[in-house]
Amino acid sequence: MSRQQGLSQEEIANQLHISKNTVKSHMGQALQSIRCYLQTQDIAYLLLATHFILSTNQ
């Protein structure tokens, strides 16, 4: 089940026989994990780009 399929949180909850709040909570946790991962990747990319720029300017 997925929002990608165009399902609302309520539709997902009904199909899984769980509460809408459970769906909302799990989706929130998943989004937080994705945000954390992306922030880590942004920092790594920034450090790599800075290193590359500094090394090519010498």
Q: What is the dihedral of CA 47, 48, 52, 58, to 10 degrees?
A: 40
pLDDT in tens, the chain (58 residues): 666 789 999 999 999 999 999 999 999 999 999 999 988 898 888 888 888 888 887 6
Domain, as residue range, for 15 = 3-56
Residue 3, pLDDT score: 66
Residue 24, pLDDT score: 95
Q: Which two tokens stand for residue 11?
A: 């539709």
Domain count, the chain: 1
